[in-house]
């Protein structure tokens, strides 16, 4: 008897709870507790997702802009120009300067190179014909001096035209920060064209083998 009475009371409580919920849900401005829980969970999910999308949109353009400024495709550079009187080297694309750097030249910078050991930087039209990754001067790109005309002039004078003229960096590991800065402001090579190690890394990556180089007085 007691057992039957207990079952009736429990069943009645459940019915009363459902009826109360149904009654409350019929009232204006009332939201079911079950529904409210689901809505809160969904809103939480949507909010997190939206926040993530907003963050991605804010960060992505900044990253892309930074990369675009830093990276320059190597196929952009189609020629190189050196102006000795300006102490500058220019990387060109369709005749327009894309990048330029201050340079150091041979210890006797004025005039065209005639012979080996004259410490002059050649003048004329040449080709950057091979690269040297592990150079005494960090990295180097070879200039195709001497050409046929240079050899002929040297032969007439009874001398060797010389060679191994490069665009290169600075002596690896032997210069302190002050020397690296100061060495840029005077001509110190045996006829090569020198830039900083950081700059030759960039030039090395941007300029392809076979690119023409013009060296002007």
- What pLDDT score was predicted for residue 81? 98
- What pLDDT score was predicted for residue 103? 94
Q: Which domain holds residue 24?
A: 2-70
What is the per-residue pLDDT across 41-69, written as a single tens digit (0 to 9) for each?
444 455 555 555 544 455 444 433 333 44
What whole-number distance in Å separates Cα of residue 191 and Cα of residue 167? 10
- What pLDDT score was predicted for residue 135? 83
* 13 lies in the same domain as 100: no
Q: Which of the listed residues 36, 70, 104 is the one where a domain comes to its end?
A: 70
* 102 lies in the same domain as 197: yes
Give one DSSP letter per residue of 141-172, joined into a string.
Answer: EEE--S-HHHHHHHHHHTS------EEE---T
What is the tally of structural domains in the chain? 2
* 102 lies in the same domain as 148: yes
What is the per-residue pLDDT across 80-120, written as a single tens digit (0 to 9) for each?
999 999 999 999 999 999 999 999 999 988 989 988 989 99
Residue 189 has pLDDT above 70, yes or no: yes
* 28 lies in the same domain as 92: no
What whole-number distance in Å separates Cα of residue 20 and Cα of residue 32? 11
Q: Band of the pLDDT at 40, cuts 50, 70, 90?
A: very low
The CA–CA distances, whole Å, from 38 to 22, 41, 127 equal: 18, 5, 72
* 58 lies in the same domain as 142: no
- What pLDDT score was predicted for residue 48? 52
The CA–CA distances, whole Å, from 101 to 60, 149, 216 equal: 31, 29, 15
* 90 lies in the same domain as 102: yes
What is the per-residue pLDDT across 121-157, written as a single tens digit (0 to 9) for each?
999 999 999 999 888 888 999 999 999 999 999 999 9
- What pLDDT score was predicted for residue 173? 59
* 79 lies in the same domain as 173: yes
* 25 lies in the same domain as 100: no
Beta bridge partners of 106: 189
Q: SS3 helix, strand, coil % of the chain, rounded to 5? A: 45, 25, 30
Q: Which of the listed residues 42, 70, 98 is the one where a domain comes to its end?
A: 70
* 20 lies in the same domain as 92: no
């Amino acid at each position: 008897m007691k057992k039957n009475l207990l079952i009736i009371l429990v069943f009645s409580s459940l019915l009363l709870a459902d009826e109360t919920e149904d009654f409350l849900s019929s009232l204006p401005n009332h939201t079911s507790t079950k529904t409210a829980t689901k809505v809160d969970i969904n809103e939480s999910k949507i909010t997190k997702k939206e926040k993530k999308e907003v963050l991605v949109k804010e960060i992505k353009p900044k990253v892309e802009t930074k990369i675009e400024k830093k990276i320059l495709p190597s196929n952009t550079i189609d020629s190189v120009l050196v102006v000795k009187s300006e102490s500058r080297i220019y990387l060109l694309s369709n005749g327009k300067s894309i990048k330029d750097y201050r340079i150091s030249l041979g210890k006797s910078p004025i005039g065209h190179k005639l012979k080996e050991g004259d410490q002059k930087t050649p003048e004329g039209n040449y080709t950057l014909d091979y690269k040297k990754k592990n150079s005494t001067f960090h990295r180097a790109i070879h200039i195709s001096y001497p050409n046929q005309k240079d050899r002929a002039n040297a032969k007439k004078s009874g001398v060797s035209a010389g060679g191994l003229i490069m665009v290169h960096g600075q002596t690896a590991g032997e210069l302190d920060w002050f020397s690296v800065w100061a060495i840029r402001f005077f001509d110190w090579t045996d006829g090569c064209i020198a830039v900083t190690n950081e700059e030759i890394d960039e030039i090395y990556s941007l300029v392809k083998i076979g690119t023409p180089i013009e060296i002007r007085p």
